[in-house]
Structure 1
Amino acid sequence: MSQKPLLNYIPALTGVRALAAYLVFISHYAYAFDENFPQAVQRFLNEFHIGVTIFFVLSGFLIAFRYFDTFQLTGDWFKQYLKNRVARIYPMYFLLTLAAFVAYYFTHDQKVTNGFANPIGLFFMHITFVRGFFDQLKFTGIAQGWSLTVEELFYFSAPFIFFFAQKYKKFYIQPIIITGVGAILVLIFRNVNWYGFFGNFTFMMLYTFLGRCFEFFVGIQLALIVRKKQLDGSQKNNATYAGFIMIFVCVWFMSTLPIPKGEVAGLHNPLGIITNNYLLSTSIAIFFYGLLTETTILKKILSNKFVELLGKSSYIFYLIHLGWMYDLLHSSFNTWNDKAFELYDKWGVDWVSPFQYDSLNVLYAFIILNGVSILLFRLIEEPLNHYIRKSDFLIKNKQRTTSV
């Protein structure tokens, strides 16, 4: 137990956040490399959505490591717990969601609403996280924000998961029961035309907490294992690299699977769902175990101060890498490309434009969005996080009341 305070913050796992966000970015913009790589490589890059699974396993680990031995099912504890979760997740999500709907007011980009008749109503579905229960609405607004519905449901459920784990000692029955509830909801609602509310098994298994709960439970189990160990980096069991290799073996396997009609990745194949939700999450946990118990070059890279900063700002990067901000950059690159060729025509030269190639434009956007993410983290996210934690939101700040 004496190790625990030292591990409330783990630099390498903060660096992992950046890795996870960048993998998701690559999966969304792999099309830019169509002409440069064979189809097998393209398929491989399309499966880099695994960054989402990394986030889920990491959340399960961190919440369990911090709270499993100290949680209390009391009003005050739960208020403080929710206050901390809100301070971490909600401010930037709310502001960036608001920005997405303001952008929709000017652009009428149908990606934001997917034909939903009431944008204001949809906005409230977003800021309350309920849009993530509807298949037809999951990619509206901030498209990648569907995963926050999954995260928030886990945060709310975690203390009860810990309670039942301690009281009944039947830890692995819980994900079976939770996924079973998801299956029952699909059987009830799959023939109801309500924007795809638990409309099919693929949606339930890939886009809801009920289907993806195992990933969080793997993280919880990892926390229960490592909290009893000396995490001084002295072990040499090669778990870091073994887990890392296993992760990309899972990616490769998904990239070989037939893609169901209307989908873009092997993830949506039934075998892809099993690989992603169960085999991949276990591989990630092994990788994390290595980062926690070993000292490796990879751990040193992920613990680097700059990588750590990228990890801290990766939540914002994840929220802005798709949507109006990227679309604005893409439009600007196209405009600058046209103007460059206009200048070349005037000068009578046959030069290459810096904005001529999609792959370079994606790289420019990646760099710019990281810069924006760091600025927003320093100027908005971090100050708001500290402010809410020190405020009397939900529950009075004890430190402030004792000092008065």
Structure 2
Amino acid sequence: MRRDVAPKTHYYRALTGLRAVAAYTIFWHHLNPLGTRSAGRPVLEWANHFVQQWHVGVPIFFVLSGFLIAQRYAASVAPSWTWAKAYLQNRFARIYPLYLLITVVTLVVQFSALSGYNSHMLQELPLSGKLLAVVANLTLLKALFSRFILATGVAAAWSLTVEMLFYISVPVVLLFVKQRTRRLVVYPVAAFGLGVLLVAVCAQLPFYSYGLLDSLRFMLNCTFFGRCSEFACGMAVAYYLKQTPQANAKGGWLTVGGGLWIILCTVAITQVEWQHPRDANGLHTYAAIAVNNLLLPPGIALLLVGLLREQTWFRTLLETKVAQVAGKSSYAFYLLHDGLLRKLSGQFVPNSIVLFIAAIVLSIMTFYLIEEPLHRYFYVPTRPLKPSVLLAKK
């Protein structure tokens, strides 16, 4: 039976290709080939620090999610259990099946005494801590705990906790801004206020010893409450494009402007964070966090508008068949690249370029053989709600 959830939407080929770009920048952020080779060589040293900030691929994913969810569901959102059930099932189908499979395999390896893969950290935990780590990973809540965020399960999957909370909250926001889109500004402000409150409250809870929202810096770097502005920018793009429809334009001022904006923000973060080593809690300085969370998202939003409104060589490149395959498999690539693949192949594939190619090949196979079939199995077919149905449900 078809469910009344969302209208048929366009497939944005350029944005699918952009997903691959975002995933690949994150790969080089994690496996920076420069590393210690840049010591004593000023130009390479600066380039090394610059590549270390290529985590900006994560904000690109968040802004994309905000745009796609608002574009798909803004017109059809309805305060009904039928709508909510189908919506949540489709979000579940999108991210959880493949995540669960890879996470279970990863946890089994990590808990194995023979693996040596983060086992030292797990062995230090009491039984209750080990159980909590497993539950937090399986429920997509691990990124609320600073002690679990990178040391257990799939390291890169911390962003899925952020995504999940966005998915849960966004239907209420879509209803709230349905008549007045300017209300969207309330969304990140309210999320930030709730995050500050939770940081204070969690300090009094038993789970605080495992790093449950253990600091303001952690909340701003790694949780939905600090990163909501990125989703809000993507949603704003969706509303803007609906309210100002126009044909594709020649030239590329928006695309170029958005790209330069992203580069300049990355340079600014590089300069501010120069003296601070990377750790599990993300950026160290509040200035860098402000650039990443507040100044960078509008630049990404501008790039999205450019890719959807302008005919440029970059858009043409992102719309090629190769880029489409890379974009579709980018989620599998993201989950695989910095986990078991890197750990278990380290002794056989020490070269990061070879590992990059191997990760691409494996992610494409994973997408077509596992991810896509699972998504089709759990996905609920949808069609647009008729006005008469909407009126009847009010």
Q: After TM superposition, is the score higher than 0.5? A: yes
Normalized against structure 2, the TM-score is what? 0.86
CA contact 1:32–1:362 (8 Å) conserved in 2: no
Q: Name 1:346's counterpart in structure 2.
A: none
Q: Residue 143 of structure 1 aligns to which amino acid in structure 2?
A: A
Structure 2 CA distance for aligned equivalents of residues 305 and 198 of structure 1: 42
Structure 1: 4+ residue segments shifted above 6 A: none
SS of residue matched to 2:147: helix
Q: Secondary structure at the match of 2:125?
A: coil
5+ residue gaps, structure 1, are: 334-357, 392-404
Q: State the secondary structure of the residue aligned to 2:348.
A: helix
TM-score, normalised via structure 1 length: 0.84
- Stretch of structure 1 that moved more, 248-257 or 382-391: 382-391
Q: Give the match for residue 386 of structure 1.
A: 376
| Structure 2 contact 250–312 (Cα < 8 Å) conserved | no
Give the conservation status (yes or no) of the 8 Å contact 1:112–1:141: no
Query: Do 2:273 and 2:283's aligned partners in 1 also have CA atoms closer than 8 Å?
Result: no
CA deviation after TM superposition for structure 1 residue 167, in Å: 5.5
Q: In structure 1, what is the Cα distance between the partners aligned to 2:71 and 2:329?
A: 22
Distance 1:286 1:329, change over 3 A: same
In structure 2, the CA distance between the partners of 1:68 and 1:84, relative to structure 1 (3 Å rule), is same
Aligned mates of 1:72, 1:146 — CA distance in 2? 30
Check conservation: 2:63, 2:300, Cα contact below 8 A.
yes
- Aligned residue identity for 2:333: F
What's the secondary structure of 1:107's corresponding residue? coil
Work out which of the residue numbers 260, 269, 281 in structure 2 matches 1:254.
269
Match status 1:46 vs 2:58: no
> What is the match of residue 166 of structure 2?
154
Q: CA deviation at 1:218?
A: 0.4
The corresponding residue for 1:183 is 196
The gaps in structure 2 that reach 5 residues or longer are 1-5, 382-394
- Cα gap change, 1:167 to 1:214, in 2 (>3 Å): same
Change (3 A) 1:111 1:301: farther
Cα 1:113–1:377 change in 2 (3 A) is farther
Alignment identity in percent? 35
What secondary structure does 1:256 align onto? helix
Per-residue Cα deviation, 1:194-242 (whole angstroms, up to 9, x for no partner): 3111110111001110110000000000000012344542254610011
Larger Rg: 1
- Structure-2 separation of matches of 1:97 and 1:57: 25
RMSD: 2.3
Task: Give CA deviations for 1:286-305 in whole Å, capped at 9, x if unaligned.
Answer: 00010010010000111111
Q: Which residue number corresponds to residue 184 of structure 2?
A: 171
The residue type paired with residue 81 of structure 2 is: G
Equivalence for 2:125: 116
**Residues 266 and 325 (structure 1 numbering): CA distance in 2 closer, same or farther, change over 3 Å?**
closer
Residues 1:17 and 2:19 aligned together? yes
Counterpart of 1:377? 367
In 1: Cα distance, 2:94 partner to 2:19 partner: 14
Are positions 1:126 and 2:137 aligned together?
A: yes
Deviating more after overlay: 121-130 vs 267-276: 121-130
2:229 maps to amino acid? F
Cα 1:266–1:212 shift into 2, 3 Å: closer
Equivalent pair of 2:265/2:291 in contact (CA under 8 Å): yes
Q: Which moved more, 1:80-89 or 1:25-34?
A: 25-34
Equivalence map 1:31-70=2 (5 Å): 31-35=33-37, 38-70=44-76
State how many pairs are aligned: 362
Q: Secondary structure at the match of 2:142?
A: helix
